Each structure stands twice: as structure tokens, then as C-alpha cells.
Amino acid sequence: MRDMSKQSIKLPGKLVLIMAIFSIGVVYFIYLPVSYDFDGTVFSQYLRNALIRDDLVKTSQPHHPLYTPINYLIYKGLKMAVGYNVLEYFHLQLFSLCFGLLTLWVSYKIITKVTDRQFFHFAGMVLIACCYGIWYYSVEAEVHMAGLFFITLGVYLLFFKPGPSDTFYRILAASFCFAVAAGFHLANGLIVVSVLLIFIIERKSFAKIFQFFSSYFLFLLVEMVVFVLITKVNLWAHFKNVFWGKDLLAGYKIIYWTGFSLETLWESIKSAVHGILIPASPLFAILSILLFFAAAALIIYAGAKSKDKKTYYKLGLWLLPYFIFFTFWDHRNIEFKLNVILPFLILLILSAAFIQIQNRMKYFLFTAIIAIVFFINVYFFVLPANDIQKNLHYQVAKAVGKKTPPRSIIVIGGCGTELSIFNKIYISYFAHRRTFILDWMLGKDLSLEEVHARLKQEQLEGNPVYFFSEIVHEGKTVRQLLKNHQLEAVDYFQFLKKMDFKEKIPLINGYYLARF
């Protein structure tokens, strides 16, 4: 009778959890964005090339070696099994969506272990689901949500799953999860710093620490060795270029490292804050900052008063290495703050459940916070991103596809304006046209004369050549090109004069193509 009673109590909770996650998934799916993230479109192009060529070698990336191969295999398997044939971008969105929902499930499991207040189990999960960064990367064609899931699962197995946490099999399972997370993006490897700090504070034996790190690095080594053997990539040359050389997508040197300063620290904090509540206007930017510091104050107060200090330092040490490292590297980028945002939110949920005020008031305030976060993020992020007519980059690319023959080459700047930057991938992916990106070509030390010769050769081979309007007259794109490559304006416009443009082909919103 006792067992039956337990089952009857647990079943509704599981059913509610399934219904809650399913409902969140439906909302996510209904409002899948068509704003088409830049990196997501790049990943989609990589996947398309791999599928068309039936070749993973030239389309895999060393800093997330598992992402394209796994999606390639899933896509190919589904195509063989059920005739699956969808836009690669949509496929990658579904991939992120699945891992976003799985992350919510594991987050719920952690929340249930840190507080026994059932209201906060579900309300906390909903708050996490409504946050801008979690929602965004759960519906975008991006690498990050799969990595976040495996980190969250590893943290749960190692520190929150009931039972002894330092058994060999628990350590092995967690280290495997962390290695897989690093396979989706190597930056996820920072979690081992968190684990080491927690192990040291908990005074784990050297044997346990050695078990964890030897297992982790063995799994990661296998991943990278297989990757190198298949792709023949020179990892040393690649990462030397990433950290100290030319940016592969810009064509010239970009420094992602930032020296420490109060301004850098403040910008890093804001990127984490904005990963919770989108800064849609100066007013909401201020509101997001105020809510964040109020939440931080609550966490500090509750952590000081709570007898369960272990939970606070475990979650705190999860986020700390990520926050510190990504305060010095690409510090404004929200995607690198997901492992700050998620443990911070769980700490907030724990602290809200702990704080001693009347339950009705507590529940009302927490529900109000969820409502604020939900409605602001939906109104200013979800709905606009769901409207294809508001995606100027896409509309321009589709116009290029309609107005030019299939073998055409579109010459673009690739810098200076958001449209010029997005044209680098949108025109090739959505318009199915080749692009010659001046920023890349000049960044590879080609002279303007050499660029002209290349274009002339393409023309002689029967490939129509068009210049996008942003680079045929002075403006932000041209000024940025001149600055990036130390060009004189007179030399650049002399280069354009040699093109002897034949006609002007209108696109939309005043943009046009000039035919060489």
C-alpha cells in the first residue's frame, strides 16, 4: 500500500512536468524566429554543403567538432527513414529546440533537489524558459543549447542527483557529459574548472579528482583525435589563428581579448543581464539592470542566512569561471553567458523559495517577475523575430535571387553595416548565389588590381558579375573597407571606374545591383 501511495503522489507531478514542458515546446515552435541568426545561417550553409557533397571533411569546425557531424547523421538518417527534406536552418532549429526542452527538464530536476517548495519547481522552470538567452538559443540554429544541456546534466549527476556523488560510475557519466558539451563548443570545457574548485572545497581525495580529470580528458581526446584523423585539420594552426591571427569570417585581425577595466566588467555584467531580459529600449535596459541587482541582493542575503551553503557555492562556482573568462574574451556576447544565466536563475529560485515572507506575497512577486520577463521578451524579441517581412536581410537576398541568373557572382563589402555583414551568408544561403567579399579578398592581401583581374576572369568564363549598391558609392561600407585595409579613397573609386557598370538593377528599399 505504501508503494501504491507513493506512485499515486508522484504521477500527477510527472504528468504536470510533461505537460508544462510540452506546452513550452509548442510555444517555442509556434514562434520559431525567421530573423535567421548570422551564425545559425553559417551552420546551415555548412550542413547544406555537407549534405550536397556527402562530405563532412570540409564542413566541420574545430571549435565545435560534434555539431555538424551529428546533425549531418541525423538529417541523413531521417531522410533515408522517412524521406525527411526540410530547410537545413529549420532542422538545426528543431535540434536546438529538443535540447532546450531537455535543459529545462534537467533544470527542473536540480530545482527539486535544492528546494522542496513545489510552486517554485514549476514556476522556476517557466522563468528559465521565458528568459531571452534561454529562449533565443532554444529556437535558433546554434551550437549552444546542446552544450548547455550536457553541462546541466553533468552538474546534476555529479552534485544534485540523490545518492553518493563521488562513485566511479557517477564521475564517469558526468565527465562524459562534460566532454560531449565541449564537443559542441570547446568553451564549454570551462566547466572542469568549476568541478575542480568544488572538489577542492569539498576536500575530495586526489584519487577522485584524478578519476574525473583522467576520464574527462580521455573522452575529449578521443573526440579530437577522431576529428583530426577524419578532417586532417591542423589544430595548432587553427587555434593560433583564432586567438592571435585573422578572424576567419572577417578577413582581418580582430582582437577578442579585452584588458580588465571597470567598463569591461560592467559590459560583461550587462550581457548576462540582457540574456535574461532583452534591452529593447533604454527604459527596459534600466529595468533589467534593477531587477538583476535586486535578484543578486536577494541571493546574497539568502545565501548568508541559509544553512545549505553547499548548494550556493556549487551553483556559484558553476557560473564563476564562465563569467571571469568571458569578461576578458568577447565580453559582450550573450551566447557565452548561458552558463552564467542558468545557475544564476536557479540561485534566484532557491533564494526566493527560502526568503521568509508571507507565501501569497512571495508567490505573487515571483509570478509578477515571470510575467514581466515573458511579456517584454515576447513583445520585443519573439514577435518581431517571427515576422519574415521585418527581416530586411532576407528580403534583399530573395530579391537578389529573383533578379540575377543562377551562375551570378555578387560582389559585396562584408563590413560597415549590418546588411553588408549579413549579405556574406544570406546571399549564398537564401539566394543561392556566389559572393565575392571585398573585406575577405583584401584581407588576404589581394590588391584592387588583382580583385579586378579575378572578376574579369569570371566574366570571361560566362559568370555574370554584379556589385551590391553599398560598395558602389561612398557610405558606411566603403568607409569601413578603406579603414580596414588602409586604402585611399581615390584608389578605390578608380577601381570602381574600371568596372564600367552597364546597368542598375533595383532590389528593394533603394538597394540595387550594378552589373559589371
Residues 325-358: tens digit of each pLDDT: 999 988 889 999 999 999 999 999 999 999 988 8
Residues 146 and 79 in one domain: yes
For the beta carbon of residue 299, count every other beta carbon within 10 angstroms. Answer: 21
CA–CA separation, 353 and 116 (whole Å):
9
pLDDT attached to residue 254 = 67
Segment (H or E) for 243: helix 235-244
Rounded Cα distance, 85 and 67, in Å: 19
Cβ count near 18 (within 10 Å): 11
pLDDT of residue 247: 60
Q: What is the spatial distance between Cα 352 and Cα 404, in angstroms, rounded to a whole number? A: 58
465-468: strand order across its sheet? 434-437, 409-412, 465-468, 512-515, 504-506
Contact between residue 42 and residue 162 where contact means Cβ atoms under 8 Å apart: no
**Residues 413, 357 share a domain:** no
DSSP secondary structure letters along 26-55? HHHHHT---S--HHHHHHHHHHHHHHHHT-
Report the chain's C-alpha Rg in angstroms: 25
Highest mean pLDDT among 153-157, 162-166, 284-288, 498-502: 153-157
Last residue of a domain, one of 361, 384, 407: 384
- Are residues 353 and 499 both part of a single domain? no
Same domain, 356 and 481: no
369 and 400 share one domain: no
Is 70 exceeded by the pLDDT of residue 243? no
Q: Report the number of secondary-structure helices (H) and strands (E) in the chain.
A: 23, 5
Name the pLDDT band for 241 (thresholds 50, 70, 90).
low
Reported as a single tens digit per residue, the pLDDT across 29-42 is 999 999 999 999 99
Residue 412 φ then ψ, to 5°? -130, 170
Residue 212 has pLDDT above 60, yes or no: yes
Q: What percent of the chain has pLDDT over 70?
A: 94
| pLDDT at residue number 322 | 97
Question: Three-state DSSP class for 257?
Answer: strand
* Element (DSSP H or E) covering residue 505: strand 504-506
Give the end of a domain, one of 340, 358, 384: 384
CA distance 447 to 438: 10
CB 412 within 8 A of CB 437: yes
Co-location of 295 and 415 in the same domain:
no
Q: Verify that 321 and 401 share a domain, yes or no.
A: no
Q: Where are the beta strands (DSSP E) in 341-492?
A: 409-412, 434-437, 465-468
One-letter identity of residue 10? K
For the ranges 137-146, 224-233, 282-291, the lowest mean pLDDT is seen at 224-233
In this structure, are 292 and 350 located in the same domain? Answer: yes
What is the rounded CA–CA span in Å between residue 231 and residue 439? 27
More confident position, 10 or 202: 202
Amino acid 358: pLDDT: 85
Q: What is the mean pLDDT of residues 425-436?
A: 96
Q: Helix %, strand %, coil % for the chain, to 5?
A: 70, 5, 25
pTM beyond 0.85: the answer is yes
Both 9 and 64 in a single domain? Answer: yes
> Based on the structure, what is the number of domains in the chain?
2
Alpha-carbon gap, residue 175 to 217, rounded angstroms: 8
- How confident is the prediction for the chain on average, in pLDDT? 91
Last residue of a domain, one of 333, 350, 384: 384
Residues 128, 120: Cα–Cα separation, whole Å = 11
Q: How many CB atoms lie within 10 A of CB 477?
A: 26
- Looking at the fold, whether 96 and 168 belong to one and the same domain comes out as yes
Tell me the pLDDT tens digit for each residue of 486-498.
999 999 999 999 9
Distance (Å, whole) CA 516 – CA 508? 20
Integer angstrom CA distances of residue 458 from 294, 405, 409, 451, 484: 60, 14, 8, 11, 26
The answer, yes or no, to whether residue 173 has pLDDT greater than 50, is yes
d(CA 411, CA 513): 9
How confident is the model at residue 245, as a pLDDT?
59
Task: Output 63-67 pairs: Cβ under 8 A, ≥24 positions apart.
Answer: 63/185, 63/186, 63/187, 63/239, 63/242, 64/143, 64/183, 64/184, 64/185, 64/186, 65/183, 65/223, 65/224, 65/227, 66/180, 66/183, 66/184, 66/223, 67/43, 67/143, 67/146, 67/183, 67/184, 67/185
The strand ranges marked E within 361-445 are: 409-412, 434-437
Q: What is the mean pLDDT of residues 477-505?
A: 93
The reply to whether 414 and 365 lie within a common domain is no
pLDDT at 410 over 80: yes
Dist. CA 479–CA 413, nearest whole Å: 10
Which pLDDT value is given to residue 3?
A: 43
172 is written with which cell numbers?
A: 564517469
CA–CA separation, 59 vs 113, rounded Å? 41
Amino acid in position 142: E
247-257 confidence digits (pLDDT tens): 655 556 667 77
Using the structure block, give the residue that is written with the C-alpha cell 564549454: 188
> What pLDDT, in 10s, does the model give residues 77-120?
999 999 999 999 999 999 999 999 999 999 999 999 999 999 99
Do residue 280 and residue 182 come from a single domain? yes
Confidence band for 445, pLDDT divided at 50, 70 and 90:
confident
Residue 481, C-alpha cell as written in the block: 573597407
Residues 354-383: tens digit of each pLDDT: 998 888 899 999 999 999 999 999 999 999
Contact present, 454 and 436 (Cβ < 8 Å): yes
| 382: its cell numbers | 519573439
487 class by beta-carbon count within 10 Å (0-12 exposed, 13-18 middle, 19+ buried) = middle
Residue with cell 557519466: 173
Percent residues over pLDDT 90 in the chain: 80
- 474: closest CA among 459, 496, 503, 505? 496
Spatial contact of 478 and 413, defined as CB atoms under 8 Å apart: yes
261-295 pLDDT, tens digit per residue, is 899 999 999 999 999 999 888 888 898 999 999 99
Instruction: Give the model's confidence band at 246: pLDDT under 50 very low, under 70 low, under 90 confident, else very high.
Output: low
State which residues form the domain around 340. 2-384
